[in-house]
Each structure stands twice: as structure tokens, then as C-alpha cells.
Amino acid sequence: MRGSNVEFGPGQRATPAGAAAAGDPLRDHVEVLPRPVRFLAVGGLGLITDLSVFSALIAHGVGPLAARVLSLAAATLLTWRLNRALTFDYSGRRPADEAVRYATVAVAAQAISYTIFAALVLTVLSAIPQLAVLIGAAAGAFVSYSGQALFAFRPRRHA
């Protein structure tokens, strides 16, 4: 079922013939899941990427603030491609336009995530920076889902 443009039930694909997601067997399998569940699954993979890159950089002597900038970039790239392929319907926009919209939302969500992370890692969680990553990521996820559903991947309205 759809309420406004935010889907809460199983996805109904709005992909025109010939679009990238048409006939994609993985997309066909995951579409039985509600959009928020698909978003959380993609986010989980993004979080694994974020934590893995962050931990690897920390282990190689990179400071936590710089490591998080790089790990966020890697996770954001992964989640953009997976959300496009598995979570949200075809928007009718050119990929470059959609990427700019996604980046706008990602910057807002990651700014919240990073600010919370930095505040925690510089104070109470300096000994466990990965926990600060998790807390920051959880806060950013709320902004991210709303922004992706209502702005970045929202279907273009034809006049």
C-alpha cells in the first residue's frame, strides 16, 4: 500500500521497460519485502562497510575523525548504488540528477551522523570509537530514509 509517496508495504515497481532494474532477478526476490526493510538491509551493508573501513584505517594509524570521513564516503557510495538497485523505484530522472539529489540527502544525514560520532569519540567513547560510529549511523538513518524516499528517489511528476 502506498500513502502519499512513501511506501510502507511491498514495492510496486514503476520501472519502465528497458530500465536497469527491469528483469533483475535479485530485485525481483527482494521486492516482496517492504521498502523500509530493504532500506534497513542496505543500510546494514553500508554500516558493515563503514565499520570495516573505519576499523582498518584506525588499525593503520589514521585518526578517528579522518578515518570516519573516509569510511562514510565508502559506505555512502555502496548504499547509493544498492538503494537505487534494490530499495527505491525508478524516479524518471537522469542518473546524474538522481545522484545529486541522493548526495544532497546523504550530506545532511552524514553531517548528523558525523557530528554525533565526533562528539562521542572526543568525549565519552574515545576508547570505543566503533560504538560512536554505530550511534551516529543510527541517528543519520532516520534522516536518510525520509530524504531518500521523499526527495532523492521520489518519482518525477510530469506536468
Distances in Å between the Cα of 38 and the Cα atoms of 48, 87, 96 are: 15, 5, 23
User: Cα separation of 100 and 91, whole Å?
Assistant: 13
Asked if 124 contacts 76 with a C-beta cutoff of 8 angstroms, the reply is: no
CB atoms within 10 A of CB 155: 13
Q: pLDDT at position 5, please? A: 40
Q: SS3 of 121, please?
A: helix
- pTM of structure: 0.74
For residue 86, pLDDT beyond 70:
yes
Q: SS3 of 66, please?
A: helix
Q: pLDDT at position 22, please? A: 59
User: Cα separation of 63 and 92, whole Å?
Assistant: 41
CB-based contacts of 16, cutoff 8 Å, min separation 6: 22, 90
**Which of 9, 68, 1 lies closest to 34, judged by CA?**
9
The total number of residues shown for the chain amounts to 159
Residues 105-135: tens digit of each pLDDT: 999 999 999 999 999 999 999 999 999 999 9
Residues 11-59: tens digit of each pLDDT: 444 444 334 455 778 888 888 999 999 999 999 999 999 999 999 999 9
User: Cα separation of 148 and 43, whole Å?
Assistant: 12
Confidence of residue 4 (pLDDT cuts 50, 70, 90): very low
User: Cα separation of 58 and 128, whole Å?
Assistant: 11
Sign of CA dihedral 46, 153, 13, 17: negative
